[in-house]
Amino acid sequence: MSEQPQILFKYRTVPGYDNIDVYQKNEGYTALRKAIKMVPDDIINELKLSGLRGRGGAGFPTHIKWNGIPKNWDRPHYLVINADEGEPGTAKDREIMNLMPHMLVEGCIIASWAIRANNCYIYVRGEYMEPIASVRKAVEQAYAAGFLGKNILGTGFDLDITVHQGAGSYECGEESALMSSLMGERGMPRHKPPSAPLPVISGVWNSPTIINNVETIATVVPIINIGGAEYSKWGTERSKGTKLFTISGHVNKPANYEIVLGTPIRKMLEIAGGPLNGKPLKFLIPGGSSTPLLPATDQYLNLAMDYETMGANGTMLGSGGLMFFNEDVSVPKLMTRLMHFYAHESCGKCTPCREGTNWLTKIHDRIMAGGGRYEDLDLLLDICNNIGGRSFCALGDAAAMPIQGAMRFFRNEYEALIPKESLSKRVFTPLPIAGAVR
């Protein structure tokens, strides 16, 4: 662990770090005192120097997002924190909220100052009742200490933070669905550019809104403390700094780890204690359940964990949910479980996702029950092609990508489940789709 700098997790294990007193004794709220003396543009410039990219999954540069906030606009600005952590395999934001809630609160205040927002909403998934209690306590303590409320630190800047509890919907992690949900609606995605303006122009209540992931906002704190240039010394050319990874599955020490971007996957496996009981690994999922899997061979274990390398290998870094699976795991069985999940969580707004996830599930169930047909395999891929890039939001892609990954590397496992008599000459001929990748 020694060569992995702990920028975010520096004081995580300090007892009582979720309390404001202990937090302040460990560099707590120093970044806020520094930032509040800076003009917003200078804060955004520090982020630019740091190279920080959104940690929620998309990896969009944070400074570009913040810089888009209108300079002269007569509507109130809002900061919304996406704490609807629901991507299977990802459990890092929960740790931030449980153990270091003040870092999130401090990040929220700095971000609100930089984007001139007087209201911040932290939208936490409904199941996270313990993290909600932890963040609520931190918010109360911050109010009592004068870091929130009216005239913060004598600057005349006012800010209120409200912790908002979701109610069980994976879809609400999608930013436009989250905003719908925050406004008291069903958690369904909204129109996106070019047919509608970006949230930064018109988000919640038709006002300029910045929406960021918990980890992104928490990372702003150490960046202001040490400076953007210092932060950017870690990582690769385009994937800067460190990132939290939830390493789970068949490893000896599953946990949340702060890892420098660009670290080889093999090294991460080592950090997580190696394969569980030494049993050989079969494959891995690099960034949460919706990112396509990779075989656990030397070729892929040697890959660097950063946005670009993962992208170049047909998968994604995603939200940092790195899962390892050993030989005991059947790929089609795992995918069946995953398809039930996506079909359950599809919000039902658009046809490709609502119908597609349902059919992917039914076909998987059929194959698992021994009634699979040979042409089912191509049918699965055809459905994926009809979901990917054709659904209203990324949930559709999230359901299609794992199947495409599984078929790329483990088609043989699916074939093995198809009854022999079905292995006839019957071939599935899909209708042509413009631009489809097969």
Partner 1 sequence: MFSEEAKTQLDNLIKKYPKKKAALLPALWIAQEQYGGYVPPEALREVAEYLDLPPAEVEGVATFYTMYNKTPVGKYHIEVCHNIACMVVGADDLIEHIGDKLGIEKGDTTADRKFTLSGAECLGACANAPCLMIGPKYYENVTPELADKIVDELSRK
Site residues (vs partner 1, CB under 8 A)? 76, 85-91, 93-94, 119, 125-130, 133, 160, 162, 164-170, 181-187, 205, 246-250, 254-256, 289, 321, 323, 325, 328-329, 334, 337-338, 341, 344-345, 347
Phi, psi dihedrals of residue 125, rounded to the nearest 5°: -60, 145
- Within 261-388, strands assigned E span 263-264, 281-285, 294-295, 304-305, 321-326
Concatenate the DSSP letters of all residues of 254-291 into one string. Answer: -EEEEEETTEEHHHHHHHTTSBGGGPPEEEEESSSTTS
CA distance 337 to 372: 17
Q: How far is the CB of 233 from partner 1 (least distance, A)?
A: 28
Instruction: Find tokens 């550019």 and name the residue.
Output: 193
3-state secondary structure of 14: coil
Q: 281: which strand partners?
A: 326
Phi, psi dihedrals of residue 255, rounded to the nearest 5°: -175, 180
Closer to partner 1 at the Cβ: 39 or 144? Answer: 144
Q: How far is the CB of 388 from partner 1 (least distance, A)?
A: 20
Kindly state the tokens that stand for 268: 């991460």
Q: Which of 19, 186, 170, 181 is nearest to 86 (CA)?
A: 170
Closer to partner 1 at the Cβ: 90 or 176? Answer: 90
Q: How far is the CB of 309 from partner 1 (least distance, A)?
A: 23
Closer to partner 1 at the Cβ: 45 or 330? Answer: 330
Q: How far is the CB of 249 from partner 1 (least distance, A)?
A: 6
Q: How far is the CB of 133 from partner 1 (least distance, A)?
A: 8
Q: 324: which strand partners?
A: 249, 284
Q: How far is the CB of 328 from partner 1 (least distance, A)?
A: 8
- Answer yes or no: are the C-beta atoms of 371 and 418 closer than 8 Å: no
Q: How far is the CB of 269 from partner 1 (least distance, A)?
A: 14
Closer to partner 1 at the Cβ: 47 or 204? Answer: 204
Q: How far is the CB of 284 from partner 1 (least distance, A)?
A: 12
Closer to partner 1 at the Cβ: 126 or 430? Answer: 126
Closer to partner 1 at the Cβ: 208 or 249? Answer: 249
Q: How far is the CB of 244 from partner 1 (least distance, A)?
A: 11
- Answer yes or no: are the C-beta atoms of 55 and 320 closer than 8 Å: yes
**Dihedral sign computed on CA atoms, order 307, 211, 172, 219:** positive
CA distance 257 to 91: 11
Contacts 24+ apart (CB under 8 A), 10-13: 10/222, 11/100, 12/95, 12/99, 12/100
Closer to partner 1 at the Cβ: 57 or 228? Answer: 57
Closer to partner 1 at the Cβ: 277 or 429? Answer: 277
Closer to partner 1 at the Cβ: 28 or 187? Answer: 187
Q: Strands 242-249 and 321-326: what pairing?
A: parallel
Closer to partner 1 at the Cβ: 36 or 211? Answer: 211
Q: How far is the CB of 43 from partner 1 (least distance, A)?
A: 25
- Answer yes or no: are the C-beta atoms of 7 and 258 closer than 8 Å: yes
